[in-house]
Structure 1
């Protein structure tokens, strides 16, 4: 009986490693099992994790080569990221907390934030977004007709359904 349980765990571990490898390969533009170090945050987030920039930097310190090359190798990234996923680190922010944050930014309490306000908040306050992150956010959040973000609608797109998460 213990053998079956062990093989089930191995299967789960293999599935987790496969998911990480597939996400890594999306960013491996040279097909040489390395990615640009600047892509690590995107890879981690594509796996359903939501680390702060400080947590991304901590992760980088674990996977970066001793002599920094600007690239991360899959063989160093895989065991570290596997542990992160199995430990369920960097969990998403709950929906009610996201809603409260948007409502705090919505000074007029009208249910939306203008593009200009959002850009200002995300580039000048707290941990600033990069230009690429800003473009990604606007492409998914912004209503092109009104140039606003109806945050209740956007939050529903941002929330991760834990039941659809990794097979753990």
Structure 2
């Protein structure tokens, strides 16, 4: 029982560290706050992939500072820690991601052009915002050719997972 508690303690500490590191990337003024519009990007950078309605549900649980629309780390941390402990919004498996990219690759050449990618992600399904699109393109595209080699990129989409040794029956 004591070992289980220590493992859970270690898990919480590791998760809180990851969340804080992700939050700090978007904390441009280094004052432990981020613009509320950055929350979706932060959540996704932690390997969780909620849709926009689910992001809004999470924001409803977090006290957002008015009128500026800022979120404090201390308010975000417990909500996001619970999301990761509960393993909510888990990423789609790599093989499913690969099949989705292959469906967009009409010429079956192993890559998607920037123009085609922007078209698919802004005109179909739940469209990306301009900011989300720019953030994704900055990471996804080959800087020399402006194309997405999706077989390489799919592994970047799964960035955080809870190590199996930290999972107790309480978190499954």
Q: TM-score range by the shorter chain?
A: 0.7 to 0.9
The TM-score with structure 2 as length reference comes to 0.79
The reply to whether residue 148 of structure 1 matches residue 167 of structure 2 is: no
The TM-score with structure 1 as length reference comes to 0.81
Q: How many residues align?
A: 167
Matched-pair contact (CA < 8 Å) for 2:49–2:90: yes
- Alpha-carbon RMSD: 2.7
1:103 matched to which residue of 2?
102
Deviates more, 1:46-55 or 1:95-104: 46-55
User: Against the structure 1 CA distance between its residues 49 and 3, is the aligned structure 2 distance closer, same or farther, given a 3 Å change threshold?
Assistant: same
Once the 2 structures are TM-superposed, how far is the Cα of residue 112 of structure 1 from its aligned partner? 2.4
Counterparts of 1:19 and 1:5, CA distance in 2: 21
> Which structure has more RCO (C-alpha within 8 Å, separation ≥ 6)?
2
User: Against the structure 1 CA distance between its residues 23 and 30, is the aligned structure 2 distance closer, same or farther, given a 3 Å change threshold?
Assistant: same
The reply to whether residue 71 of structure 1 matches residue 70 of structure 2 is: yes
2:170 matched to which residue of 1?
none
1:55 matched to which residue of 2?
54
The reply to whether residue 85 of structure 1 matches residue 96 of structure 2 is: no
Question: Which has the higher Rg, Structure 1 or Structure 2?
Answer: 1
Unaligned runs of 5+ in 2: 168-172
Secondary structure (helix, strand or coil) at the match of 2:71 reads strand
